[in-house]
Chains A and B, each alone.
Chain A
Amino acid sequence: MVKTLVVDDTEDTRMVLSQMVEQVGGKVVAQAASAVEALVWLDHHGVDLVLTDFQMPEMRGDVLVSRIRAQWPTVQTAMISVLADADIAARAQAAGVHWLLSKPVTLVQLEQVVRGAVSHSSRWSGGPPA
C-alpha cells in the first residue's frame, strides 16, 4: 500500500481526499493542515506519496514540494490546484511535482497517481541510487 500524507489547510478537503486515496488503494498515514506541519511530520516519518494543495497560507504547495524533493528525493508528490494553467504548471515543474491535478479531483485521477506511486516505490525498493 502506498503510504500517503495529505496536506491541505481545509479540514473538509483533507477528509474527502483521504477517503478517496483509501478508496483507490492508498493508505493515508497522516494529514497536515499546513506545509510547515507536513515538513515537521516528515522529519520523523517515512512516506511514499505526498498529496498537497497548491494554495496554502504560510507556504505554498510548490515550495513544500521543492523542500521534499531536496530532503526526501524518493517521495512522490502530487499537487492539487484550483487552476492547472501554464503558470501553475511551470511552478509545479520547477518544484519537481510528479502529478499536477486540478480541482475537483476524481477517483480515476487518484487511481493513476497511486498506481504510479506504487510502481515508483517498487522501482526504488532497493534504496535510492547514488
Chain B
Amino acid sequence: MDLQERAVRIMEDDRRRVVRDLQDGLFQVLSNMSMRLDLVIRWMDVEPDRVNDEILRVYRRMEQAILDVRQFIDDLQPVSVHAVGLGPAVMAMARRLEQEWGVPITVVDDTAAMLRCSSTMSLMLYRAIQEAVANAGKHARAERVMVRLYRDGPHLSVDIVDDGHGFDPQALGSGHYGLSLMTDRIAVLGGTCEVESEAGHGTTIRFRVPMDAPTPHETADAVVLENSPTPL
C-alpha cells in the first residue's frame, strides 16, 4: 500500500472511529434520556413520585453527556505537539485522561531533549499514542497504563503497556479501526507497530519509527513525567 492510499485509509478510519465514539457515547446517552422523558410524559399525571425519580436520572445523564462532549472536543482538538514537544504533549494528554477515567497513566520520557521530530512525525506519533491509550482506558478497562518514549539506535520507540483484559491480535477483524489507524499512522512514518496481547493478560503496543541521529550534546537522563511509581 503506498503512502497516498495509507493517508486516505487513515482519514476514513478516523471518520469511522468518530462515528463509533458518537454512537457508543453521546448518542446512547441522548437516546436513553429521550426514552426516559417519554416515560415521564406518560407518568406525569398518574405517578408523580416516579416522575421525580426519572427527572433526576435524566439530569444525571445530561451531566454525563456534557462530560462526554467535553472529552470528545478534547480528543479532536488540534494539538501543538511540535511546539511543546512530544513528551510534554503526551504528558498533558495523560493527565487529562487520568482525570476523566480515574486510571493512573505513567509517562516516562527517556528521550528528553534529544528529539528532533518533524511536526508531522510528532503529530502522527501523538495521535497513535492517543489511540493506544484510549483503547487501554476505554475498551480494555485497564487499571494502569504506562507510556515510555525512548531512543533505540536510529529509531524512536514508544511502548504503551496496560494491564487490561487483553485480546487475541490474530482474531481481530478488519473492522478494528483503532489498531488499523495506529498501524497506518506509524507506517506513513516508515515505522512499525507491534502488538503483544493475550486475553486476560494486558496489552503491549510498540511503535518504532526511524529518526535522525542525535547531535553530541543531546544527552539527558530519563525524565519521569508522572508520579505513578509502580511499574506494570
Which chain A residues border B39 with CB–CB below 8 Å?
16, 19-20, 23, 107
Measured between alpha carbons, how far is A105 from B23 in the docked complex, in Å? 15
Cβ contact within 8 Å between B31 and A103: yes
B42 at the interface (CB under 8 A from A): yes
In chain A, residues 54-68, which have Cβ atoms closer than 8 Å to a Cβ of chain B? Answer: 55
B61 at the interface (CB under 8 A from A): yes
A70 at the interface (CB under 8 A from B): no
Cβ contact within 8 Å between A16 and B35: yes
Which chain A residues border B42 with CB–CB below 8 Å?
23, 107
| CB nearest neighbor in B for A57 | B139
Cβ contact within 8 Å between A107 and B38: yes
Min distance, Cβ B47 to any Cβ of chain A, angstroms:
10
In chain B, residues 3-45, which have Cβ atoms closer than 8 Å to a Cβ of chain A? Answer: 23, 27-28, 30-32, 34-36, 38-39, 42
Cβ contact within 8 Å between A104 and B23: no
Measured between alpha carbons, how far is A17 from B28 in the docked complex, in Å? 13
A90 at the interface (CB under 8 A from B): no
Cβ contact within 8 Å between B36 and A10: no
User: Known: A20-B39, A23-B42, A107-B39. Is A12-B27 also a contact (CB below 8 A)?
Assistant: no
Cβ contact within 8 Å between A105 and B35: yes
The contact string, 1 if C-beta is below 8 Å from chain B, for chain A 1-30, is 000000000101100110110010000000
Interface bracket on B: 10 to 19
Which chain B residues border A103 with CB–CB below 8 Å?
27-28, 31
Cβ contact within 8 Å between B38 and A20: yes
Which chain B residues border A112 with CB–CB below 8 Å?
none
Instruction: Report which residue of B27, B30, B32, B34 has the largest number of chain A beta carbons within 10 angstroms of its beta carbon.
Output: B32
Contact of B34 among A17, A23, A104 (CB under 8 A): A104
Which chain A residues border B28 with CB–CB below 8 Å?
10, 12-13, 103
Which chain B residues border A82 with CB–CB below 8 Å?
23, 27
Which chain A residues border B34 with CB–CB below 8 Å?
104
Min distance, Cβ B177 to any Cβ of chain A, angstroms:
14
User: Known: A10-B28, A12-B61, A23-B42. Is A55-B35 also a contact (CB below 8 A)?
Assistant: no
A106 at the interface (CB under 8 A from B): yes
Min distance, Cβ A83 to any Cβ of chain B, angstroms:
9
| CB nearest neighbor in B for A108 | B38
Measured between alpha carbons, how far is A13 from B30 in the docked complex, in Å? 11
Q: Which 7 A-B pairs have the closest CB atoms?
A: A104-B34, A104-B31, A103-B31, A16-B35, A104-B35, A82-B23, A107-B38
Give B contacts to A, CB under 8 Å: 23, 27-28, 30-32, 34-36, 38-39, 42, 61
